[in-house]
Amino acid sequence: MNFKINNKKKEESKMGACYDVRVKIAIKKGKENNAVSTLRSYIEKHDGHGIIFNLDKFASEGTTPDTLEGLLKIFLCGTDYWNPVIKHGRKWLHYYNGFDASYGWESVMMEMFEVLAPFLENKSEMYIYPDEDYDHIVVKNGRCVQEH
């Protein structure tokens, strides 16, 4: 799926963007290991090839790509502001974080959600608020649908 990036200032500056990310997900029963494995494979394939995940920085803070929460932190945190709020409900995991990253990181977050979608329950969703506008992606039947 090709997502439309709703960041109008994307090409105006080389400095980066301030992001606020809000995620509500539920992993399908018995699929968490598959989700973790798939996201780890994405990192292994792309790290150092146009994407820098700063795995050493995260590891020094105690975050590794061995759990879903660790992977969410790696994909949805900047290296300077990485204290997300993670809440576990009966069904949903809620994740909130604000951080600075490159404008290109918006695409990485959207791809992460697309890779994760086959393992997510319907109505799992992610909001990305860059400097301007926002992206809203919802899972429907294992696929991402961009609502905005």
Tens of pLDDT, residues 107-116: 999 999 999 9
Residue 31 has pLDDT above 90, yes or no: yes
pLDDT score of 92 = 97
Q: Token pair of 104, please?
A: 């290109």
Give 112-139 pLDDT, tens digit per residue: 999 999 999 999 999 999 988 899 999 9
Nearest to 137 by CA among 13, 8, 25: 25
74 close to 43: Cβ distance less than 8 angstroms: yes
User: Which two tokens mark 65?
Assistant: 């790509």
**Phi, psi (degrees; rounded to nearest 5) at 145:** -125, 125
Q: What is the 3-state secondary structure (H, E, C) of 74-125?
A: HHCCCCCCCCCEEEECCCCEEEEEEEEECCCHHHHHHHHHHHHHHHECCCCE
Among 22-31, 97-106, 117-126, the least confident range: 97-106
Angle, helix 68-75 to helix 105-116, in steps of 10 degrees? 150
In this prediction the pTM is 0.85
